[in-house]
């Protein structure tokens, strides 16, 4: 069976979403994890599952939460690239609209803001057009290119789960 490797920003998005849920209602952060982990396990067991996001990138919606796990299937692993909040996609499009911002983020992927952050989710665009889809794909491609170039280290699935449970357990 394939391993599940997480992009560091995807791990941050998972933790930030849980933090947001924790402030909203007690126990909601645990329910969020209880929904995300079976989703990633389902992807691990059935890597052909999910809807096509773009090219080889696929997405699976997290049950009962407005998030999608965007991933890429490799020979020996599943690479979780983004934990995307449906509202965050619109915000991402607005943050990537300027070429200057896009160039800065590509040169230094570790300085990029997490898409799942509450500050980004607070702003919404009403237009969910192809521009948003393209912006998401730019983000996914940038993250994967940084991984492939050795600029980032992925995080093992078990480590993500252990850190999450230690923090929110």
pLDDT at residue number 131: 64
Residues of the chain with pLDDT under 50: 89-128
pLDDT at residue number 125: 36
Question: What is the length of the chain?
Answer: 169
Give the burial string for 12-22 (b: 16+ CB within 10 Å, else e). bbbbbbbbbbb
Please give the span between the terminal C-alpha atoms of the chain, in angstroms, as a whole number. Answer: 27
Nearest CA among 46, 52, 16 for reference residue 32? 16
Q: What span, in angstroms and rounded, lies between the C-alpha atoms of 56 and 74?
A: 10
pLDDT tens by residue, 55-75 = 788 889 999 999 999 999 998
pLDDT tens by residue, 76-95 = 999 999 898 886 544 443 44
How many domains are there within the chain? 1
pLDDT at residue number 126: 36
Q: Cα dihedral sign for 65, 147, 96, 136?
A: negative
Q: What is the pTM of this model?
A: 0.63
Residue 84's domain is classified under what CATH number? 3.30.2310.20
Print the domain residue range for 88: 3-168
Specify the DSSP class assigned to residue 103.
H
Q: How many CB atoms lie within 10 A of CB 133?
A: 14
Contact by Cβ (8 Å): 155, 143: no
Query: Cα–Cα–Cα angle for 161, 40, 135, nearest 5°?
Result: 105
> Which tokens sit at 20?
């947001």
pLDDT at residue number 57: 85
pLDDT at residue number 26: 83
pLDDT at residue number 67: 92
Q: In whole angstroms, what separates CA 120 from the centre of its chain? A: 14
């Amino acid at each position: 069976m394939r391993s599940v490797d997480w992009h560091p920003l995807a791990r941050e998005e998972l933790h930030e979403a849980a933090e947001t849920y924790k402030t909203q209602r007690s126990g909601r952060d645990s329910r969020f994890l209880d929904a995300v982990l079976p989703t990633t396990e389902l992807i691990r067991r059935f890597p052909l599952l999910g809807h096509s996001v773009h090219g080889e990138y696929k997405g699976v919606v997290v049950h009962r939460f407005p998030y999608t796990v965007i991933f890429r299937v490799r020979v020996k692993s599943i690479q979780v690239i983004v934990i995307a909040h449906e509202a965050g996609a619109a915000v991402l499009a607005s943050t990537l609209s300027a070429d200057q911002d896009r160039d800065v983020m590509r040169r230094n992927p570790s300085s990029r803001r997490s898409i799942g952050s509450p500050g980004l989710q607070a702003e919404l665009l009403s237009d969910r057009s192809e521009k948003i889809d393209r912006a998401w794909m730019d983000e996914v491609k940038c993250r994967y290119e940084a991984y492939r170039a050795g600029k980032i280290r992925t995080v093992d699935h078990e480590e993500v789960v252990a850190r999450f449970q230690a923090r929110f357990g």
